[in-house]
Amino acid sequence: MFTDNRSRKIILVSHCLLNQNSISDGTADFPSQFREIIALLMANQVGIIQLPCPELFCLGLDRQDKRGAQRDLLQENTRIRKLLLQKKPTALLRKKAQEAVAQIREYKKHGFSIVGLLGINRSPSCGIETTSLDGKEQLGMGVFVQLIADELQAKGLELKMTGVKTSRVEESLEKVRQLLHDRG
């Protein structure tokens, strides 16, 4: 089964790596996508699963406040994080996390290599090594990524995760190269 031309390599990526139009006002570093990372994944023949944008999905494009871009970035991210931690958004995101892990399980069941999950550091939802909390960038995961990590643990699965920053292109590319190299 699956003896055709597919690479059998998959990576999960935060939505905004492929669609900068989805992120909160005032934070886009690119017109459309983080092209350098997408090009690197394509050059390595890695299939891309685009995760849903948790903030857009739960809070809308304006993140429930049209003046969000007027605030300090970390203060705004903290506000967004608090909204995502409310009961209804958390329940919605937990379901999305379960769906993402179900995809991982299905690919693994058929022998595909899951390279990892690529998130956005400092993000209140998709941070991997850092997130926004209490008006600061702090160590820890974003709300959505933490729910994915919890679901992976509940299912007994491990997945490499790394976070990038769109404002740090070369550093981000090196982190993706390392993730691709370390995939085992």
pLDDT tens profile 165-178: 999 999 999 999 99
Are the C-beta atoms of 151 and 49 separated by less than 8 Å? no
pLDDT, tens digit, for every residue of 6-62? 999 999 999 999 988 788 877 778 778 899 999 999 999 999 999 999 999 999 999
Q: Which of 119, 116, 121 is nearest to 46 (CA)?
A: 116
Is the predicted pLDDT of residue 3 greater than 90, yes or no? Answer: no
The mean pLDDT value for 70-91 works out to 95
Is the predicted pLDDT of residue 78 greater than 80, yes or no? Answer: yes
pLDDT, tens digit, for every residue of 115-163? 999 999 999 999 999 999 999 999 999 999 999 999 999 999 999 999 9
Does residue 2 lie within any of the structural domains? no
Interstrand relation of 9-13 and 47-50 (parallel, antiparallel or unpaired): parallel
Does residue 118 lie within any of the structural domains? yes
Could you give the angle at the alpha carbon of 25 between the alpha carbons of 89 and 19, nearest 5°? 75
Instruction: Give the pLDDT of residue 183.
Output: 54
Does residue 1 lie within any of the structural domains? no
Does residue 60 lie within any of the structural domains? yes
The interaxial angle of helices 35-43 and 169-181, nearest 10 deg, is 20
Q: How many CA atoms lie within 13 A of 88 on its CB side?
A: 5
Handedness of CA 7, 10, 11, 16 (dihedral sign): positive
CB atoms within 10 A of CB 137: 18
Does residue 50 lie within any of the structural domains? yes
Does residue 3 lie within any of the structural domains? no
In whole angstroms, give the CA distance from residue 82 to residue 76. Answer: 10
What's the domain count of the chain? 1
Does residue 103 lie within any of the structural domains? yes
Handedness of CA 11, 13, 19, 20 (dihedral sign): negative
pLDDT band at 184 (very low <50, low <70, confident <90, very high): very low
- 54-82: b (≥16 Cβ within 10 Å) or e: bbbbbbeeebebeebeebebbebbbbbbe
Does residue 146 lie within any of the structural domains? yes
Domain that holds residue 97: 9-181
